[in-house]
Amino acid sequence: MSVPQSALSTANDDLANGPLSNSSVRRVIDALAAGGSNTRVVALTDTARSAQDAAQALGTELGAIVKSLVFVIGDQPVMALVAGDRQADTAALPGCLGLEGRCKRADAEVVRAATGFAIGGVAPLGHPAALPIALDASLGRFPTVFAAAGHPHCVFPTTLDELARLTGGVVDARIAKNP
């Protein structure tokens, strides 16, 4: 799994001062290592705040970007990891996770409390407590997908299978639909 060199920040290897020194990014790096992953978090020259931004910065297809979306079902925060070219199906999400209740998008405060990350850099792992997570099966179309790593300029390359293993999430085609 590689990232185009042109996308990398010159601060990529500067752990003392660059984005990789950010405490949120360090949490992701630690979670990847604890999960047995050999992937590296990379700092990008351009922002990866949105899926479109990340795809442009990486020179990859929009669908290869993993959107980490937080919802609330009843009172339970949950996460849907959805391909960048798809939309989460909030009607299907509760059933995919074995939960009941109305599904609604979480506000910024709930996102931060549930994940420990600010919107624009929400990683799929490294959360303060385990969240129910569903992964969009369509991410499997790509040999490498890219997920946020706790900072608007940081991502990590992975695969659908590795992401499912690292997050403990359930892979389900029903959680995403074409826009």
pLDDT of res. 12 = 41
Domain boundaries, the chain: 5-177
pLDDT of res. 3 = 55
Separation between Cα atoms, residue 91 and residue 50, nearest integer Å: 23
pLDDT of res. 65 = 98
Provide CATH code, domain 5-177. 3.90.960.10
Mean pLDDT of the chain: 91
pLDDT of res. 2 = 55
What SS3 string covers the chain?
CCCCHHHECCCCCCCCCCHHHCHHHHHHHHHHHHCCCCCCCEEECCCCCCHHHHHHHHCCCHHHEEEEEEEEECCEEEEEEEECCCEECCCCHHHHCCCCCCEEECCHHHHHHHHCCCCCCCCCCCCCCCCCEEEEHHHHHCCCEEEECCCCCEEEEECHHHHHHHHCCEEEHHHEECC
pLDDT of res. 1 = 55
Q: Sort strands 176-177 and 87-88 into parallel, antiparallel or unpaired.
A: antiparallel
pTM, full prediction = 0.90
Q: Are 145 and 132 in contact (CB under 8 A)?
A: no
Q: Are 73 and 102 in contact (CB under 8 A)?
A: yes
pLDDT of res. 8 = 44
Exposed, middle or buried: residue 177 (CB in 10 Å: 0-12, 13-18, 19+)?
A: middle
Q: What is the mean pLDDT of each run of 10 residues along the chain (179 residues)?
A: 48 57 92 96 89 94 98 97 98 96 96 94 96 98 97 95 98 94
Which residues fall within 8 angstroms of residue 166, CB to CB, at 6 or more apart?
31, 32, 35, 37, 124, 125, 158
